[in-house]
Amino acid sequence: MSFLHLLFKRRVAKASALGLLLVGGGIAATPFAGAVSTPQTVVRYFVYAHGLHVMTINSAYRLSGNQYSVAVQSKTGGLLQLFMKTNINIRAQGHFYNSGMPEPESYESAGWSRGKNRHLSIAYKQDMPDVQAMEPVETDREQILPDERKGAVDNVAILMALLHKVQEGQGCGNGAVKVFDGVRLSTLQVQTEGVQPLPDGASKDWGEDGLRCSFVAQQIKGFKISSADRKARKPQQGRVWFENIPQIGMVATRVEVDSPKMGHIMVELEGKPQQQP
């Protein structure tokens, strides 16, 4: 039991962060104000580390031509939930610029992670992410100056913008963006690879091929002052596949990340998505 806890304590926290890029029972995305409500899409993902199921992600999102709202619940799954607990709830919403880039309005996460109750709230004004609340405060990291985080967006906004482009038939887009999660600043480079066969072992419930996007994520600021961990500074390469599911449309069905610290991480859609009011 102690061995399993030590093996997965850091991996589950990281896998949770990856899973939250994906945007279930008991959660609902906020309806859009002042407009006819867009149906919400409900999806479930399993996160695997070294082939073991370590996280379950339930998400509901609304995505229209110019705005989005998302609700996510991420919790430990499989046998790992017998030895440790992670249960985080996230809500985020925002708009899209004419270019398709996301314009977040708010991002909030709360729940139990890494042995503590945690709460993070970020508000956005004029392309500036402003941390409204952080509990507990992380004081052992590099300071990220306002000019450095200006124009940065949260993880959920990134995937919703990617999904928005895919649904609009624009591929995955090609370009770089800054990502700020409250304590860390990273860059994310995305590139469209085109329609390709799914990897061996992938679910074939939807088809044999999928639109593949590749990405490279790299932390650039917000490193722990007390740590000289070089692996955190290395780029993380990954791939995401989108498939056109009947009566639902384009959905992210599989994500793979090759992490210098964690090895191979895989996130896979579990069951057919549903659309609800």
Listing DSSP states for 229-267 in one string gives: -SGGGS-EEEEEEEEEETTTEEEEEEEEEEETTTEEEEE
Average pLDDT of 175-180?
A: 92
pLDDT at 82 (0 to 100): 61
Q: Which strand (E) or helix (H) includes residue 133?
A: strand 128-135
Q: How confident is the model at residue 79 (pLDDT cuts 50, 70, 90)?
A: low
Residue type, 85: K
Helix, strand, coil percent values for the chain (each to nearest 5) = 15, 50, 35
Instruction: Return the sign of the alpha-carbon dihedral for residues 140, 141, 142, 148.
Output: negative
Quote the pTM value. 0.85
- Give SS3 for 92: strand
CA distance 253 to 265: 14
Q: How confident is the model at residue 7 (pLDDT cuts 50, 70, 90)?
A: very low
pLDDT digits (tens, 9 = 90+) for 37-67: 788 999 999 999 888 888 999 999 999 888 9
- Give SS3 for 142: coil
Cα distances (Å, whole numbers) of residue 166 to 141, 242, 257? 36, 8, 20
Of the candidates 59, 276, 255, the one whose C-alpha atom is nearest the C-alpha of residue 172 is: 255
- Give SS3 for 59: strand
Phi then psi for residue 29, to 5 deg, are -75, 145
pLDDT at 35 (0 to 100): 54
Q: Give the pair of three-digit tokens for residue 29.
A: 């995305």
Of the candidates 117, 83, 41, the one whose C-alpha atom is nearest the C-alpha of residue 276 is: 41
Inform me whether the pLDDT recorded for 192 exceeds 60: yes
CA distance 60 to 71: 5
Contacts of 227 (CB under 8 A, 6+ apart): none
pLDDT digits (tens, 9 = 90+) for 225-260: 877 667 778 888 999 999 999 989 999 999 998 877
